[in-house]
Amino acid sequence: NMKNENAIIKTDFGNANGKSVDLYSIQFPNELEVQVTNYGGIVTSLKVPDKNGVMEDVVLGYDELQGYLNETPYFGALIGRYGNRIAKGQFELEGETYDLATNNNQNHLHGGIKGFDKVVWEVIEVVDEENRKGLSLKYVSADGEEGYPGELTTIVDYIFTPNSFEITYEATTSKTTVVNLTQHSYFNLSGNASEDILGHELTINASLFLPVDNTLIPTGELRPVRDTPFDFTNPKLIGEDVNATNEQIGFGGGFDHCWVMTEAPTAQIRKVATLSHQQSGRSMEVHTKEPAIQFYSGNFLDGTITGKNEKVYHQRYGLCLETQHLPDSPNQGQFPSTVLKKGETYSTATKYVFSTSN
């Protein structure tokens, strides 16, 4: 029976927060092979074939759990309660002021000191069908955890097909709160992080981006990308403008900005970005319901991290394409709302689709 041969394999991955952690291995032979752990919902490995059929890993990470338990730049992780930054770690909601950790200079980043990337998720279901395999992950965040109001119950489904990684997010709350979930995989389509990502070609279907201040908080302006280094409306090599003489590039140390596709989330998932690497023949499309996408060109990687297979991750050896709501939305009333009320369900989806061409 072929089904059992390629069944999801669960192995022990160690311990975190006094709980045992597992690693799930999912395989579509010669198409897509992936490993996911329920610690932080981390995708530890994602292999796709190049144009010669060679399977190589296209995400950054560590061989062992310990790497993720140490200081890590969110490799492969599920991010919550709030992806990206909230200015000065503070926001107001229904007349109350909430104080959050300032874990990124004076700002709050990616849910705080111990965000969703650092907790052990409960695996509530394993999906193991012929062309759909994956996990349903659940985490209940206590009222007041990391300073956020409301007990937040989050269920995230990771579903893999022979050529895609699909993520659906759902969350409910016991009282009014803010939510902005995302996935923080660092991609390098060259395979096994064999070179930097500057030779990757990127398209972002967005005519607007968010300028930031020197602490990387959006100024509130939605600026047209036209005639700026931020114009990826046509395919462009990342290296072409990553070091452009531009105040915004200076603030980010390269690209570390949010592109805005629409004024609000959409009911339909649609393609928002395409990444390709000509030499390997690998391409990846990003589809989402979210209104925006953060493109980060791995500027803060600096050669101090040794990842999988003893690979040293130098500057720009990986890039992130994080689908999300706009950063600092709780403090910027003109941005689409990230408020979730009791009785409502936060619901969104993102899909990474891989292909290979000669």
CA distances from 69 to 53, 112, 301, 308 (A): 34, 15, 18, 15
Check: CB of residue 286 under 8 Å from CB of residue 350. Answer: yes
**Is 110 labeled as catalytic in the residue annotation?**
no
CA distances from 118 to 24, 339, 347 (A): 17, 23, 22
* Catalytic annotation, pick one of 277, 290, 322, 325: 322
* Catalytic annotation, pick one of 56, 145, 166, 184: 184
Which 3 state secondary structure label does DSSP give 89? helix
- DSSP secondary structure letter of residue 150: S
Phi and psi angles of residue 52, each rounded to the nearest 5 degrees, phi first: -100, 10
**Is 33 labeled as catalytic in the residue annotation?**
no
Rounded distance between C-alpha atoms, residue 356 and residue 189, angstroms: 10
End-to-end CA distance of the chain: 33
Structure token pair of residue 347: 């619901």
Rounded distance between C-alpha atoms, residue 292 and residue 207, angstroms: 11
Closest CA to 332 of 19, 125, 85: 85
Rounded distance between C-alpha atoms, residue 211 and residue 208, angstroms: 10
Closest CA to 27 of 225, 127, 162: 162
Instruction: Supply the residues annotated as catalytic.
Output: 184, 322
